[in-house]
Structure 1
Amino acid sequence: MSDNIKMQDTEYTNEWVSWIEEAVDKEYFKYYEYNQFNNIQHIGTGGFGKVYRANWKRSEKQFALKSFFSLDNVTVKEIVRELKIQREVDFHDNIIRCYGITKLETDNHNNYWLVMEYADGGNLRCYLKENFTKLSWDDKYKMAHQLSCAVSCLHNEGIVHRDLHSCNILVRNNTIKLADFGLSKRIGASSNFQSKLFGIVPYVDPKSFSRRRNNNQSTQMYSLNEKSDIYSEQYDIGLALDISQGHRETVVPDTPDEYVKIYTKCWYGEPDNRPTIYQVVDWLNSIITKKDVILEYHQISNELELNENSSSSNNSELQGDLSQLIQNFNKMNTKEIDSMAISSKQENHSTEKDFNMIANEINDFITELNIKGIEKESRKRVIEYFYNHNINSQEFYNWLLNNQNSSNSIFILGYFNHYGIVTNRNDEKAFNLYINTSEKNHILTQQYIGHCYRLGHGTMKNDKLAFEYHEKVANENLSYGQLSLGYCYENGIGVEKDFKKAFYLYGKAANDGNVIAIFNLGYFYKNGIGIEKDYNKTFELYQNAANLGYNDAQYNLALMYEKGNGITKDIGKAIYWYEKSAKQGDQDAQNKLKELQKNQ
């Protein structure tokens, strides 16, 4: 009997060793020689193993090494799965990096450890306890935004964390790093270990206490406050029952109302009534953006005040500048930063359920963003609109469902379904609503129908119909139709390729300030597509589009400065534009930036 057990254990060992070796051979992850690590120090213990800090090859570069108490088929399967998941999200700055695997050989056993990015700030719970008094609310906003962005990234990749709590949220250089992805929970479930559900009550959907539920769009968000009363209670069945019955932490005094408004909306017991993670990201970004703008304004005004007494003539001039700056700032708030803003009287009116006016305003600024070529920002702007004007988006959505008598309300309902605003994304429903609206000669809808046919969203892909709808919009002399029709001619979508027609259409759209069209013209000049090569024109157009905030233009402009293509080589300016692009999440720009800064 004993010999049979030994033989079975040997078979299992050989099997999971083969899995790891195969994963290394296929370069799923990098293999590190254990003897190249030094100064190995134990820094923590979890439910399934220990964590060590170590230096690599006598350098100051530090890694975290994660060991496991028991390595068997189940554990190794989950480790390999974890590494594969890691590869899908490794690009994100707020997700802990897994560099690879190492092997510690002892007593004829192969102990495989994960080689991870080291988080010098420890986990979030410890970090808040040690640094809470040092953190401003701006710091907290940014950390909450970073965490939300990390979760949003997982959802975009179809990944559910399954074990999200403060000990799996790490901090490196004061920046949030999401970790684990539920590895420990999956190992426990697969190994038939007892799940410690009540150890992570604050991060569990309250409905999970009464029935199992997997809803990757649900959000649970708390105050990031060490004084939160819910954390001081024992995590037991009584607390779980209280939460399931509506008990929540008491809002901590002096917490800004704008933040309270966000995280308390995430407390609703019914998942469908909670905001999506994408809404939370957009709301937090809106707060941070406003803070940055206001800070910049006060910095400028303070500089002017410091120079106030330099001379009487200068004082008069500076006062004039300050007055003009205040006027410009007010205009920027109401027109440029938030084109959706309305007067205080109108704002009060909107809270009185004047949803028809709201539908018209949303339609107008979506149209405007399409004209400018920044339609991708429209979803964010819609969410900001509801937040800034204290409008209940769910009530507005319910109104839309019952008021499908105008082309704008039909279009907005389709748009909400298309982009998953308030409701879950439903391309088929969106497409049918767009078709309904197009019959009422709603020209913006025809543009979206063209996109649906071209991309196969909610309907069968049909290049011919995509071309026809984009042509209808272009014939109305609208830049977003001209841009899309130019794209069809450039790529032969529903029509024979014709670079000259594409160039002509991009030119018309660019004349109306469409940023993508401006960039496309620069690309055509750079590569001699439908026109002779002209680096001067390329530079001019890229510069224009980059100044308007277009990410691809910023990256390509940086590349021109780095390589000296058609212009004087300037690494400083290259870094400047790579930074601009990197801040918008461009991974290539981030890599370029690291490379150039390293060589500086």
Structure 2
Amino acid sequence: MVPYVDPKSFSRRRNNNNQVFSLNEKSDVYSVGVLLWEISSGQPPFHAEGEQYDVSLILEISQGLRETIVPDTPKDYIEIYTKCWDGEPDNRPTIYQVVEAIITKTDIVIENPQLLNEQEFSEVPLSTNNSEPRGELSQLIQNFCKMNTNEIDNIAVSNEQEKLLTEEDFNRIVDEINYLIFKLLNKGTSKGELVKEQVIEYLKNYDTNLQEIYNWLLINNQNISNSIFLLGYFNYKGIETRINYKKAFNLFINASENNHILAQYFVGVCYFFGHGIMKNEKLALKYFKTTANKNLTNGQKDTGYCYENGIGIEKDLNKAFYWYEKAANNGNIIAIKNLGICYRDEIGVKKDHYKAFELFKQSAEGGYSGGMISLGYCYELGIGTKIDKQKAFELYLKSANLGNKVAQYNIGVMYENGDVITKDLDKAIYWYKKSAKQGHQFAKNKLEILQKNL
């Protein structure tokens, strides 16, 4: 995406109204200029096999770097696309002027072009064979001219409706995304991908361009810890860039030194999994504890997990219970389920199946798939409640549909055995496959046995 983006959007320059430049119709003209060059060359701009576009390219383009003119390209054609990619938007032609120039330059396009509805410019494949560049170029440009004038009008109108974003707007968006991530982690959203999806959804709902936010973060992440963290998060989750754990870790460390609580938590996560840095369970626990003491419930929950399992410290079930209870009291739905397990299995507290059942129910009602499984298990075996296998099946199914591999395995078992529901080996195999794809070993074993016997 980088070579096609108006370089003005990479800078922090403001207009007379103190507004930071935002993509507009002249930005589209810039992109068209790059595409016209791409048509003449048969390859993407600044393309190098195996290399990614990076910050250095952004800086060079913003300072005036453009692609090299392809030999034997018609002079009039060169003039059109070089005007399109002028560094100053006011010097660029309008989209109408671009189309008009292509239509009227007989040196580069065949006679009698007509505006038709049948084929859009975006549908024309880029050729990698330059043996007949002049003929192919003429055909591709003719296809460009076939764009319906209504399509051009729509481009212009939509861009006129875009608002310039002030620096305050960008900072507000960054702050709100930080708060959204904080809120989701405090609730105990179970899968990191769900947090990522909600961040992306937030930006879509506010009609904010992800690429624009990412580009702004690249340039403006020097001193503001929220921006530093968010750029790290984008790299950690692969939002508008490829996943880069090393870069993410370095950014998290940077922001954590300014006591940014989310950055500190993700430094712990990186140490826990060995993402971008050598795995170090003691340091992971250190960062989890730091955030736990600041009332980040995910930090409290993960601190409890480390104490329960002896990760980075000697096992201490009483401390595990303490941290789970603290996180649960603060509303973390995963910690609520973990606290229920403590009461069910006598981990750091006296066994109480009724208390466990109520906690599992609370976690399940909060939307946590793991809480649904534990509640289903109570109904299946009569833990803290009467046996009700139909309710167990319904809870397992709800959790399975949320993508929980254990629930998917449990549903497979119930279909295989005909427990509560009609026996159905095809459905059993279906659910075992879904669970096995996520790495559930028992599901893999069941799947292998069933498929051998078919």
> In 2, are the aligned partners of 1:434 and 1:449 still within 8 Å (CA)?
yes
Alignment partner for residue 380 of structure 1, among 164, 185, 197?
Answer: 197
Cα shift readout 1:398-452 (whole Å, capped 9, x = no counterpart): 1111112211001101111111111111111111111111111112211111111
Alignment partner for residue 559 of structure 1, among 370, 377, 381?
Answer: 377
- CA distance 1:479–1:213, change in 2 (3 Å): same
Amino acid at match of 1:394: Q
CA–CA distance in 2 between the matches of 1:249 and 1:541? 64
Q: Which residue in 2 is equivalent to 1:362?
A: 177
CA–CA distance in 2 between the matches of 1:521 and 1:395? 43
> In 2, are the aligned partners of 1:522 and 1:542 still within 8 Å (CA)?
yes
Cα shift readout 1:274-298 (whole Å, capped 9, x = no counterpart): xxxxxxxxxxxxxxxxxxxxxxxxx
Amino acid at match of 2:225: S
Amino acid at match of 1:363: N
Gaps of 5+ in 1: 1-205, 216-226, 261-346
Alignment partner for residue 575 of structure 1, among 393, 399, 415?
Answer: 393
Q: Which residue in 2 is equivalent to 1:434?
A: 252
Shift of 1:467: 1.7
Shift of 1:591: 4.5
Alignment partner for residue 509 of structure 1, among 315, 323, 327?
Answer: 327
CA–CA distance in 2 between the matches of 1:370 and 1:398? 26
Q: Which residue in 1 is equivalent to 2:285?
A: 467
Shift of 1:550: 0.5
> In 1, are the aligned partners of 2:124 and 2:140 still within 8 Å (CA)?
no
| Superposition map of 1:103-122 within 5 A | none
- Partner-residue secondary structure (3-state), 1:461: coil
> In 2, are the aligned partners of 1:463 and 1:494 still within 8 Å (CA)?
yes
| Superposition map of 1:406-417 within 5 A | 406-417=224-235
Cα shift readout 1:82-113 (whole Å, capped 9, x = no counterpart): xxxxxxxxxxxxxxxxxxxxxxxxxxxxxxxx
Say if 2:314 is the partner of 1:479. Answer: no
Shift of 1:228: 9.4
Say if 2:215 is the partner of 1:391. Answer: no
> In 1, are the aligned partners of 2:354 and 2:383 still within 8 Å (CA)?
no
- Partner-residue secondary structure (3-state), 1:459: coil
> In 1, are the aligned partners of 2:318 and 2:348 still within 8 Å (CA)?
yes
- Partner-residue secondary structure (3-state), 1:354: helix
Amino acid at match of 1:462: N
Amino acid at match of 2:170: F
Alignment partner for residue 345 of structure 2, among 520, 527, 550?
Answer: 527
Say which structure is richer in strand. Answer: 1
Alignment partner for residue 598 of structure 1, among 407, 422, 430?
Answer: 422
CA–CA distance in 2 between the matches of 1:406 and 1:564? 53
CA–CA distance in 2 between the matches of 1:588 and 1:454? 23
Amino acid at match of 1:360: D
Amino acid at match of 1:380: E
> In 2, are the aligned partners of 1:454 and 1:462 still within 8 Å (CA)?
yes
- Partner-residue secondary structure (3-state), 1:598: coil
CA–CA distance in 2 between the matches of 1:247 and 1:565? 69
Q: TM-score, normalised by structure 1?
A: 0.43
| Superposition map of 1:31-46 within 5 A | none
CA–CA distance in 2 between the matches of 1:390 and 1:351? 15
> In 1, are the aligned partners of 2:225 and 2:260 still within 8 Å (CA)?
yes
Say if 2:299 is the partner of 1:454. Answer: no
CA–CA distance in 2 between the matches of 1:495 and 1:348? 53
User: Which consecutive segments of 4 or more residues in structure 1 shift more than 4 A?
Assistant: 211-215, 227-230, 233-238, 241-251, 347-353
> In 1, are the aligned partners of 2:214 and 2:231 still within 8 Å (CA)?
yes
CA–CA distance in 1 between the matches of 2:388 and 2:174? 48
Q: Which residue in 1 is equivalent to 2:219?
A: 402
> In 1, are the aligned partners of 2:378 and 2:385 still within 8 Å (CA)?
yes
Amino acid at match of 2:174: A
Q: What percentage of residue pairs aligned between the two structures are identical?
A: 47
- CA distance 1:374–1:234, change in 2 (3 Å): closer
Q: Which residue in 1 is equivalent to 2:31?
A: none
> In 1, are the aligned partners of 2:281 and 2:311 still within 8 Å (CA)?
yes
- Partner-residue secondary structure (3-state), 1:430: helix
CA–CA distance in 1 between the matches of 2:376 and 2:387? 10
> In 2, are the aligned partners of 1:410 and 1:433 still within 8 Å (CA)?
yes
CA–CA distance in 2 between the matches of 1:513 and 1:533? 22
Cα shift readout 1:158-190 (whole Å, capped 9, x = no counterpart): xxxxxxxxxxxxxxxxxxxxxxxxxxxxxxxxx
| Superposition map of 1:19-98 within 5 A | none
| Superposition map of 1:200-599 within 5 A | 354-374=169-189, 376=192, 377-403=194-220, 404-593=222-411, 595=415, 596=419, 597-599=421-423
CA–CA distance in 2 between the matches of 1:513 and 1:450? 21
Q: Which residue in 2 is equivalent to 1:326?
A: none
RMSD (Å) for aligned C-alpha atoms: 4.1
Amino acid at match of 2:189: I
Cα shift readout 1:487-533 (whole Å, capped 9, x = no counterpart): 11111122110011000111011001011110101111222212222
Cα shift readout 1:338-378 (whole Å, capped 9, x = no counterpart): xxxxxxxxx96758882111111111111111111116232
CA–CA distance in 1 between the matches of 2:215 and 2:410? 47
Cα shift readout 1:451-490 (whole Å, capped 9, x = no counterpart): 1111111111111211211222122233222112111111
- CA distance 1:383–1:249, change in 2 (3 Å): farther
Q: Which has the higher contact order (CA 8 A, sep 6+)?
A: 2
Shift of 1:229: 6.3
> In 2, are the aligned partners of 1:350 and 1:358 still within 8 Å (CA)?
no
Q: Which residue in 2 is equivalent to 1:299?
A: none
Amino acid at match of 2:228: I
CA–CA distance in 2 between the matches of 1:598 and 1:561? 19
Q: TM-score, normalised by structure 2?
A: 0.56
- CA distance 1:247–1:484, change in 2 (3 Å): farther
